[in-house]
Amino acid sequence: MNTASATPLTIPDVKNFAAIVHQNIRKFGARPVLRTRRQGKWIEIDWNGLGQRMQQAARGLLDLGVAEGEMVCIFSPNKPECTIADLAALNIRGVPVYIYPTNTAGQAEYIVAHSGARILFTGTQEQFDKAAAMLKDGPLHTIVAFDDATDLRGLEGAMHWSAFLDRAQGTDLDAEIDRRLERATVDDLLTLIYTSGTTGEPKGVMLTHASLLHSAAGHDLRLLPTGPEDVSLCFLPLSHVFERIWTYYVLYRGMVNNYLEDPKQIVDFIQEVKPTIMCAVPRFYEKIYAAMMHRLESASPAKQKLFHWAIAVGRERNGRVKDELPVPFWLALRYRLADRLVLGKLRALVGGRIRFFPCAGAPLGEEIEAFFHAAGLFICYGYGLSETTATVTCHEPSRYRFGLVGKPLPGVDVKIGANDEILVRGATVMKGYYKNPAETAAVFEDGWFKTGDTGRFEDNGELRITDRIKDLMKTSGGKYIAPQYVEAMIGADLYIEQIAVVADNRKFVSALIVPEFEALEEYARNHGIAFASREELIAKPQIVRLFEERIKARSGELANYERIIRFTLLAEPFTIDRGEITPTLKLKRKAIKEKFSQAIDAMYDA
């Protein structure tokens, strides 16, 4: 049994995270903290402005009767108002609860009802309309629309953000806010993070202020130093534990947070913001990598040769820096040239100022991580869950290995239990699932949280994730398949957008594949393959052969029984609305298996 021991921590001496924000307001004053772009213009809020709005919103919540420990829901894309409402709730010992902005009306209603929230903040007209029906039934009595352009439909109990901030002006509520903070304890609930629910109804993960404070202290010891000069880009939804906890850390360290409301605008946004740090999931890097490789395929032989030379030089030089080895003079000279001709241009694609990229949420291909590192971009790859206040493990700044998820965060205990399951213990582990003692009991064993993931420690002390226990598949021949491993290996191809492996109780491994149609359609045009629709394109024998060849080329590290024998190309992607993926883009395997049963059966009947 492998075990990694925790490191003692000294956590910030506060009882409520809002107290840290108050300290930073006094410390940083007129320095910027929150930024966003609306209608082509940048809006910036400094620390003083954040403090003023946070206090106004806290008064508004008190005026609406929010009690200590009461849940307050936020159903919105990323906006500065989300963070202001979040902090306002904390300021009165309330509990902010986020809903994924892509959730359906039914999913949002479940979280509101389950949490017992009586107040809901919405971001867009669509989210307001989804929430409107909740005012008629259940505990909800107030909806606050962040966007003052939202049509409130004449609903009683609905108001705009500006009216909400103004409603408690001049009232004597500040003393009550102070009294509540004085009563705060580190064991107070910080938030409920509702899991995305791949196998059933989402569960409300209870995290405390102690969990966050210990997480912050652990990150202080692990990450490169950060501070007011750093610029973070809030790209992932704030309903995701990764972005949510990181946003708290950004505020804790005094960084500037830039909010991206529409993730589809990331290419333009990143060039304007030029972040120094940005959280992202592996798919972000996969898409950038695929786009680069696609462009390279159509480049001249000379440019291809130059590109590969530069990457090779970057890999050698940056590899030595990573492993704290001296860089020979001749290598330093070659790197300077490679950097000027190629590598610097690659970094410019993500703004040109990135110091490091925190990354987690799914498997990241080793070749992709190594590629970005060769270009001078450090992906601080890690592993975590909602139940562990995000980070369990992550890379140290040096001497780490690609493909591994790093060492345990200081203050966190990790060991490998029965069936290679990863077990976690420490102050960052959740208090339990809200209103669900049975599920809570099921995931704890002798004080250790059972992650449901399998893994092992390598000889350098870093953790390797092998798969989700519940996702493991067993072929009819008795071989176990880790689908995420196979999907990460094959799915990194530039012509693949989504992939779902099938193998359970089957003779061999098969897959449902959604092509990356932009790249595939360009390939077809360049090779004279005529098509009138996506359905027609994926049925072309030349296209099927293309995928056969690329899957085979990417299967070199797979055992024979892990290799994809047959596949079906799909004309439409898996979507959240159809229940095929979660809001965090994880596959709902049962739903996919049921919906595509005929296509799956056909692969085995052929």
| Distances from the Cα of 73 to the Cα of 98, 100, 130, 179, angstroms | 6, 11, 14, 23
Half-sphere exposure (Cβ direction) of 405: Cα atoms closer than 13 Å: 27
- Token pair, residue 301, equals 């032989």
Q: Averaged over 308-316, what is the pLDDT?
A: 98
Whole-angstrom distance, CA of residue 564 vs CA of residue 552: 8
CA distances to 51, 88, 182, 518 from 32, rounded to whole Å, are 12, 19, 28, 39
519's tokens: 């790249």
Whole-number pLDDT of residue 432: 98
Cβ-based burial of 149 (10 A; exposed 0-12, middle 13-18, buried ≥19): exposed
The DSSP secondary-structure symbol of 67 reads P
The whole-angstrom separation of Cα 36 and Cα 462 is 37
Helices 80-91, 47-63: inter-axial angle, 10-degree rounding: 60
CA dihedral 439, 442, 445, 450 (to 10 degrees): -80
At 4 the pLDDT is 57
pLDDT at 475 (0 to 100): 87
Q: Which residue has the higher pLDDT, 290 or 14?
A: 14
Bridge partners (DSSP) listed for residue 407:
394
pLDDT, tens digit, for every residue of 101-157?
988 898 899 999 999 999 999 999 999 999 998 987 778 999 999 999 999 999 999
Q: pLDDT at residue 6 above 90?
A: no
Among 391, 452, 464, residue whose Cα is nearest residue 417:
452
Residue 209 has pLDDT above 80, yes or no: yes
* pLDDT given for residue 198 in this prediction: 55
Q: How confident is the model at residue 469 (pLDDT cuts 50, 70, 90)?
A: confident
- pLDDT tens digit sequence for 215-260: 999 999 999 999 999 999 999 999 999 999 999 999 999 999 999 9
Q: Which of 1-10, 171-180, 571-580 has the lowest average pLDDT? A: 1-10
For residues 274, 519, 294 and 265, what is the CA-based torsion angle, rounded to 10 degrees? 0
Domains annotated for the chain, with CATH where assigned, are 17-183+225-273 (3.40.50.12780), 282-349+372-469 (2.30.38.10), 472-605 (3.30.300.30)
Who contacts 260 (Cβ-Cβ below 8 Å, separation ≥6)? 36, 78, 233, 234, 235, 266, 269
pLDDT for res 472: 81
Predicted local distance difference test score (pLDDT) of residue 189: 98
In the block, which residue shows the tokens 């992932």? 236
d(CA 182, CA 14): 10
Residue 563: how many CB atoms within 10 A of its CB?
17
Predicted TM-score of the model (pTM): 0.91
pLDDT at position 435 over 90: yes
pLDDT at 7 over 80: no
Nearest to 287 by CA among 354, 378, 240, 350: 350
The 10s digit of each residue's pLDDT in 506-554 is 999 999 999 999 999 999 999 999 999 999 999 999 999 999 999 999 9
Task: Identify the pLDDT of residue 34.
Answer: 98
Residue 441, number of CB atoms within 10 A of its CB: 11
